[in-house]
Amino acid sequence: MNDVIKLLQSHRSIRKFTDQKILRGLLLELIKAGQAAATSSHVQAYTIINVTDSANREKIAEYAGGQGYVASSAVFLVFCADMKRPTEASERTGANVERGMTEQLLVATVDTALVAQNVAVAAESEGLGICYIGGIRNNPQAISELLHLPDHVYPVFGMCLGYPAHDPEVKPRLPVEAILKEDTYREDTEQVEAFDSTMQAYYQTRSTGNKTTDWSHNLTPLFDSKLRPHMRDFLVKRGFEMK
């Protein structure tokens, strides 16, 4: 394996950070690396908010479910899907812009995820740790107001960045046979059952947060109730009408 593949396969979520700051020049290079990600039709449908105000960081940590590392990380970024910029640019050329299409929501969300993952990999290549914060979608309206996000822009997730203050184990992933299919979709029950055993051993032996569970049981909170049911109405109010 080359160094890039090794880096990708060694990813861990980092939730404890040292006090070392990230130099502004390095942060800008990370963002530029993010911008180099693939983007649908060169739309670049994203905006990144660098939240530096400590009071706002504390509020976001609370909105996200009490995730204190939002406030303690060296840098906290909010990645936003942004259809405002490209639709207005098109409109200025005289185009009759149709807003609120489901495809626009998908394009903006996918673009945002791609740019964020490039930032994450670039950061890890520089010795930084990162942690995605999907919890900002717990209270997307409050965060949108806090960050003054206009219509046709919504916060997809946050990202903590900083120099790691702990060294957690790499969390196992599903076996490649479970997610790589040849020609057609095939069931993967056996691989999932084997993975449950792998995850049970991981959870019982990892250095922090030991618990008795497996992958399938750990999914229960995500699927035995309606997860973030407010998101549909929120997106419609932001202008993503999903037509």
Q: What pLDDT is stored for residue 1 in this prediction?
A: 86
> Which tokens go with 25?
């020049």
Alpha-carbon Rg for the chain, nearest whole angstrom, is 20
- Global model pTM greater than 0.85: yes
pLDDT digit string (tens) for 111-156? Answer: 999 999 999 999 999 999 999 999 999 999 999 999 999 999 999 9
CA distances from 154 to 65, 109, 188 (A): 18, 9, 35
String of DSSP letters for 34-82: HHTS--GGG---EEEEE---HHHHHHHHHHTTS-THHHHSSEEEEEEEE
pLDDT per residue, tens digit, the chain (243 aa), is 899 999 999 999 999 999 999 999 999 999 999 999 999 999 999 999 999 999 999 999 999 999 999 999 999 999 999 999 999 999 999 999 999 999 999 999 999 999 999 999 999 999 999 999 999 999 999 999 999 999 999 999 999 999 999 999 999 999 999 999 999 999 999 999 999 999 999 999 998 889 999 999 999 989 999 999 999 999 999 999 989
